[in-house]
Amino acid sequence: MTRTSLRSLFAILFVFALAAVPLTGCDETTTDTTGTGGDGDGDGDGDGDGDTTLDMLIATSEFSACAGCHAPGAPGFVDGTTEATQDWTNADTALTTLMGTASGLGGLSESCNGVPFIGSSLDSSLLIAAFDENVRANFDVMGFPDCTGAAIGDMTLQIGTALSAATETLLETFVQEQIDANALYAEDPSWAYDHWAFDHE
Ligand code: HEC
């Protein structure tokens, strides 16, 4: 490739870069005003909409029970048994800790330590699996072959009730918002990488 054509290639790429930046900005604005997709920064300060769904979720009778076991010093917390990363004290602590992975599990569930609560899809999210028998049966997260089926605790047993249809929808909406926010976040570096690779061919 000649120097001149290389230079025009760079010029074209530059125009692409200029065009792509405001587009990304528009996307984010649209996302925020329509109320879908959290900002994914995990600070739960109300600047993204994921935590609004989480506020509604945590206010349900089912999810207000989580903090009875999953919170520092919770009365129902059993060391070496109860999942220990989650802190359902409030929406802020829940959002931050749900960005992490499971810990503190023993016995049958031990193989799930290290599995993310929010995966790349609803079906690969431990937070969904803990409430859905079918998701548990087919749960398959790379690197954790034994975290599947009965190894995943059934939280409807722990809270003593199945989720209402409305709560189930809130849970799935919240997890999907976080998945989308994570994808949006990952978009930018991969875009840059693709163009870097092309530049240097
Ligand atoms: C009575 C105590 C108790 C309550 C209430 C409770 N949990 Fe749990 N949770 C546990 C225990 C114990 C485990 C470990 C797995 C097991 O033994 O079932 C666990 C595990 C989990 C796991 C990891 C699943 C696994 O085994 O890999 C998730 C996710 C979870 N809980 C979410 C929740 C949420 C969300 C709520 C509220 C809706 C909740 N839990 C309510 C005790 C509780």
Three-state secondary structure of 87-122: CCCCHHHHHHHHCCECCCCCHHHHHHCCCECCCCCH
Answer yes or no: is pLDDT of 200 > 50: no
pLDDT at 183: 87
Answer yes or no: is pLDDT of 144 > 70: yes
State the Cα–Cα distance between residues 115 and 14, nearest whole angstrom. Answer: 40
Question: What is the pLDDT confidence band of residue 8, given thresholds at 50, 70 and 90?
Answer: low
Answer yes or no: is pLDDT of 32 > 70: no
| Across 53-70, average pLDDT | 97
Question: What is the pLDDT confidence band of residue 184, given thresholds at 50, 70 and 90?
Answer: confident
- Of 33, 39, 56, 60, residue with least CA distance to 178: 39
pLDDT at 26: 45
Q: Are 121 and 145 in contact (CB under 8 A)?
A: no
pLDDT at 7: 56
**Lowest mean pLDDT across 48-52, 84-88, 157-161:** 48-52
Structure tokens at 26: 């528009």
Tell me if 153 CB under 6 Å of ligand 1.
yes
| Across 122-128, average pLDDT | 98
pTM above 0.95, yes or no: no
Find the 18 Cα to ligand 1 centroid distance in Å. Answer: 47
pLDDT at 186: 79
Structure tokens at 201: 């061919």
The SS3 assignment for 23 reads: helix
Tell me if 48 CB under 6 Å of ligand 1.
no
* Residue with CA closest to ligand 1 atom 8: 155
* % of the chain surpassing 70 pLDDT: 68
Tell me if 130 CB under 6 Å of ligand 1.
yes
| Across 76-82, average pLDDT | 97
Give the atom of ligand 1 at the shortest distance from the alpha carbon of 74: 2
pLDDT at 109: 97
